[in-house]
A and B are shown apart, each in its own frame.
Chain A
Amino acid sequence: NAGVTQTPKFQVLKTGQSMTLQCAQDMNHEYMSWYRQDPGMGLRLIHYSVGAGITDQGEVPNGYNVSRSTTEDFPLRLLSAAPSQTSVYFCASSWGGHQETQYFGPGTRLLVL
């Protein structure tokens, strides 16, 4: 099993550009989520999904969009990138929600100029 995979590993954007961070898992996990990690801030939940077709907001959802059309994939879209979205983004999946162990992807480092 590949576990949780994320692409790209690193991306540079200009302010106002849009892009999609990809996340996929092959563990048949129903639950997937996106976090951002900023220096001194820990990890903060952006959006999460409890299954295909169901998504919900986390702590810092503004400026991000998600959808979950399949169990395997959970892409994160930046609609109009801003410098404040410069961060490291982690995707995670688990069997049954936030009370279960989260399996994290390797992360995507995003720089918005």
Chain B
Amino acid sequence: AQKVTQAQTEISVVEKEDVTLDCVYETRDTTYYLFWYKQPPSGELVFLIRRNSFDEQNEISGRYSWNFQKSTSSFNFTITASQVVDSAVYFCALSETQGGSEKLVFGKGTKLTVNP
């Protein structure tokens, strides 16, 4: 069984604050992939990052950074100096292969509101 938990349902911050969105996953596989997607108020789903289970190196992309820790089964996402345009729902997702069948499971999402 696989499961993705985003414990923070909603987060509200003031512009320029740093914010971390948590993602904890469960899997029995040794090979799996983790993703983050952003869904702004307009409704589309925007890909942010993909990480495989063998690559624990943290990644930084502008104001975005991701911390992958296999020891705690976490793949957290940090936005530095948040901006109003970062307001969105953010989804963490896990992909693994079970019995030759691949499945992608999303967390329930964290709604981030950045206030001016």
Q: Which residues of A contact B108 (CB under 8 A)?
A: 40-42
Q: Could you tell me the distance between the alpha carbons of A56 and B9 in the complex, rounded to whole angstroms?
A: 31
Q: Is A99 an interface position by the 8 A CB rule?
A: yes
Please tell me which one of the listed residues B47, B91, B101 contacts residue A101 in the complex, with CB atoms under 8 A apart: B47
Q: 1/0 per position for B84-116, CB-CB distance to A under 8 A?
A: 000000010101010001111111110000000
Take A98-B104, A102-B104 as given contacts and tell me if A43 and B91 are in contact as well, using a CB distance cutoff of 8 Å.
yes
Q: Which residues of A contact B105 (CB under 8 A)?
A: 45, 59
Indicate if the CB atoms of B47 and A102 lie closer than 8 Å.
yes
Q: Is A51 an interface position by the 8 A CB rule?
A: no
Please tell me which one of the listed residues B44, B50, B52, B101 contacts residue A104 in the complex, with CB atoms under 8 A apart: B44
Q: Could you tell me the distance between the alpha carbons of A44 and B104 in the complex, rounded to whole angstroms?
A: 9
Interface size for chain B: under 10, 10 to 19, 20 to 34, or 35 or more residues?
20 to 34
Q: Is A8 an interface position by the 8 A CB rule?
A: no
**Residue in chain B with minimal CB distance to A57:** B101
Please tell me which one of the listed residues A40, A58, A88, A99 contacts residue B33 in the complex, with CB atoms under 8 A apart: A99
Q: Is B35 an interface position by the 8 A CB rule?
A: yes
Nearest-Cβ distance from residue B81 to partner chain A, whole angstroms: 26
Q: Is A107 an interface position by the 8 A CB rule?
A: yes
Within 8 A of B (CB), among A86-113: 88, 90, 92, 97-104, 106-107
Q: 1/0 per position for B15-52, CB-CB distance to A under 8 A?
A: 00000000000000000010101000001110100101
Indicate if the CB atoms of B43 and A43 lie closer than 8 Å.
no
Q: Could you tell me the distance between the alpha carbons of A46 and B45 in the complex, rounded to whole angstroms?
A: 17
Please report A residues at the B interface, Cβ cutoff 8 Å: 33, 35, 40-45, 56, 58-59, 88, 90, 92, 97-104, 106-107
Please report B residues at the A interface, Cβ cutoff 8 Å: 4, 9, 33, 35, 37, 43-45, 47, 50, 52, 91, 93, 95, 97, 101-109
